[in-house]
Structure formats: C-alpha cells, structure tokens
Amino acid sequence: MWVDLESRVVLNIDDGSVAIQQVWLFDDFFSTSVIEDARLDPGGINAGIQKEIERITEALKPYNYYTEIEMGGKNLSSTLVGDVTWEVILNRIQMRFTLSPNESFASDVRGWSYAIFDPTYYIEMLHQEGASIAIDGDLAQKCSSWIEQPNPSADAVALSQSTTLDNNADDTVGRFFAETVHVSC
C-alpha cells in the first residue's frame, strides 16, 4: 500500500504554535476497496467512507498519526487539530488533517524536523518527487524547509523484504524509509 503525501507547516511566533497540515492520497487499490465496501453501507457511500476515515483516524491516534516531530533531540507527541476531511479524486480517497505538537515551540522554533511514516513500513508514504514544503504563518518569510530523502542501508532493505515481517511486524522498519522534513528559522 502507498500514500502520496503533501504537507505544509504553519508557524506562529506570538503564541509559539506549530501545526503540520497533511494531505494523504491513498493508492488506487486501497481506495477502490474502501469505496466498494462503502457502497454497502445503509447510509450510502459517503456515510461508508466517513466511517472508514473515522476508523483510520482512531487507529492512527496511538501512533501519533504516523508523524514523528523532533526538536532538540526529543520526540514530541501531537494532537489532531480540527476535523479530518476527505474527498474522492479520480477514484482515490484523499484525507486532510492538521496536527500540532503538545508542547510549545515559542522559545526554540529555529530548527526542528518531522517525518511521516508507517512504523511497520506496510504503507510507503512519500511526498511527490521534487515537492517542497510550504511554510505559512508569522515566521514564513524567515524560515525555510527541505526534504531529506531516506538512505536505507542494505540490511534495512533486506529486512523490509523479509517474509517474516508478515508474521512478526517490526515497528522500527518504516523509519529507515521515511523522508525527514527539516525546518529552520
């Protein structure tokens, strides 16, 4: 399974708030499966898709919504801000949501990073090739970002292809294949 990612950073120096807006475009196969199942929902296709989006969102919560935010060597937990929305685009389901770290960045918003990935690497999650990360908010003009591409070792690649992962999920594999977005101000 794969997800095409888009992400945007919103920085507000006045209150030290940081938000990461994310757009996940699910692959054709997964989207088709959800849409076909949703057709069977007594409330109709939209109600069926909404229920699946709610189920996905709830399942992602214990995993920080597959988002690792790092600042000063410390991983920060995050909270969903606002509603999760979705739409179907060319038979693919697109989900939008925003996360905010549970800790304020007010004193040190100068350099931090985030990565969006499935820890088990069952789902490959990447920004489109050549993508850039937009920065909005009070500090937009004073900040920049770049995407560090993953560089997994031969051992990590071998591990990801191991047939034993199907029986014993390893929640460390996905990080080897994750892009890291760096933000500096």
The count of residues in the chain is 185
Percent of the chain with pLDDT over 70: 87
Residue 3 sits at the vertex; the CA angle it makes with 146 and 70, to the nearest 5 degrees, is: 40
Tens digits of per-residue pLDDT, 102-128? 876 655 567 899 999 999 888 999 999
Predicted confidence at residue 25, as pLDDT, reads: 98
Predicted confidence at residue 167, as pLDDT, reads: 61
User: How many structural domains does the chain have?
Assistant: 1
What is the pairing mode between strands 17-26 and 2-12? antiparallel
Q: For residue 22, what are the β-bridge partners? A: 7, 97
Predicted confidence at residue 109, as pLDDT, reads: 60
Tens digits of per-residue pLDDT, 30-80? 999 999 999 999 999 999 999 999 999 999 999 999 999 998 888 999 999
DSSP string of 94-158?
EEEEEEEESS--TT--SEEEEEE--TTSSSEEEEPTT---EEEETTGGG-EEEEEPP---HHHHH
| Residue range(s) defining the domain that contains residue 25 | 2-184
Predicted confidence at residue 163, as pLDDT, reads: 61
Mean pLDDT of 8-16: 81
Residue 97 burial class via C-beta count within 10 angstroms: exposed 0-12, middle 13-18, buried 19 and up: buried
